[in-house]
Amino acid sequence: MFYFNSPEILNAIKTLGQSLDVVVVSQDNGAADWFDSESSVEHFDIGITEQNLIGIAAGIAHTGKTVIVLSMAPFVSMRAFEQIRDDCAYNRKNVKIIAMFTGLEAGYWGVTHHGIEDIALMRTIPGMTVIVPADSNEVYQAIIASGSAEGPCYLRIAGFAADMSPLANNNKPFVIGKSALLHEGNSMTLIATGTMVRTALAVHDALAAEGIQLRVLNMHTIKPIDQEVVTQAAQETELIVTLEEHFVIGGLGGAVAEIVAELGVGRVVRLGIPDRFVSEVGPYEELLGNCGLDAISVISTIKNLLKGG
């Protein structure tokens, strides 16, 4: 399991603290034990008060600091949306929100705990940077990179239930706004983000064994999105399929479709959580399967699409 105190997160924060004046604010997640007096990082537990948490973060940032927020995706993105918009983004403060319990990771805890609208919400905010790392290495690099990005960042970090172990192909230098090409191919382009990059690689390998060569892109930054590679994919491959553990509305698929629609060339099919509440009870993997987001379902969907479906 990957949690706020996983080495990749804590080490990244402490590394940032060596060059920046870093303050961590958290909410009732045990963080007080992680930032001891030896750490140069100050920490404050703000309790279960998301709106207040973000307002305080913006206020601390106003005094010349870089503030890291440790919070839970569904609650911070929805409950504190206006504070993120007004106090962090409009007022241009260096607040970096590390949001965990993303997508369907909370599993049987139910609909209230599923964080499946956050990319869409954060993407609507001017000046917001939205990053969705795919593995633990990328988590570390993304947090480090956020430190030198001006203004607020939303880092959607999975791992509470999803596997975040390092991905073999995903070892290029991390640059905000520049996607990573994981496989070259011309039959179609599969653009994935976050947890679904691992699934995309499995889908690629299964189809490659059948002679189908997919282009696979890890779109770790949703905003600013890598327009150049999306444009190339639309021009060079007949079909783009987007894959994300997020609503099909407004997330990666929405961002890609907006570019392609304006381009007037290419076709986009969005795979993600359908427009419904995932209210059935079951383990994480089962819920993903119910949404067609397991590798076998994605392979089947893509084969149908390639057949002209």
Partner 1 sequence: MANQQLISDLCEQAKILRRHVVSVAVAQESHLGGSLSSADLMAALYFYYLRLDDEESPKDHFLLSKGHAVHILHACMVEKGKVDATELPRTGMSGSRLGGHPMLSTPGAEWGTGSLGHALSVGVGIAIGETLNQSDSRTVVMMGDGEIQEGSVWEAALSAPKFGLENLTAIIDFNKFQAGGDIASVMPITPLVEKWKAFQWNVQEIDGHDMSAIVEALDSAQANKGPTAIIAHTVKGKGVPGIEGTSRAHFTQLTKAEAEAALSNLEF
Question: Which residues lie near partner 1 (CB under 8 A)?
Answer: 23, 42, 44, 46-47, 49, 51-65, 82-83, 86-87, 90-91
| Pairing assessment for the beta strands 95-100 and 42-45 based on DSSP bridges | unpaired
Residue closer to partner 1 (CB basis): 3 or 90: 90
Distance of closest approach, residue 3 Cβ to partner 1, in angstroms: 24
Both tokens assigned to 10: 């804590």
Nearer to partner 1, 58 or 201 (CB): 58
Label the pairing between strands 180-183 and 214-218.
antiparallel
Closer residue to partner 1, CB minimum distance, 45 or 294 = 45
Beta carbons within 8 Å of 285's beta carbon, 6+ residues apart: 294
Residue 23 beta carbon to partner 1: minimum distance, rounded to whole angstroms: 7
H/E stretch holding 247: strand 240-247
Work out how close the CB of 50 gets to partner 1 at its nearest, in angstroms, rounded to a whole number: 8
CA 75 from centre of chain: 15
Least separation, in Å, of the C-beta of 69 and partner 1? 11
DSSP state of 242: E
- For the bound state, the minimum distance from the C-beta of residue 277 to partner 1, rounded and expressed in Å, comes to 25
Element (H, E) at 75: helix 73-79
- Residue closer to partner 1 by CB (options 61, 302) is 61
The DSSP result for 20-59, as a single string, is S-EEEEESSSSGGGTS-TTSS-EEEE--S-HHHHHHHHHH
Starting at the edge strand that comes first in sequence, how are the strands of the sheet with 214-218 ordered? Answer: 180-183, 214-218, 188-192, 240-247, 268-273
Smallest separation, CB 13 to partner 1 (Å): 16
**Two tokens at 250?**
């407004």
Considering beta carbons, is residue 56 or 197 the nearer one to partner 1?
A: 56
Nearer to partner 1, 28 or 285 (CB): 28
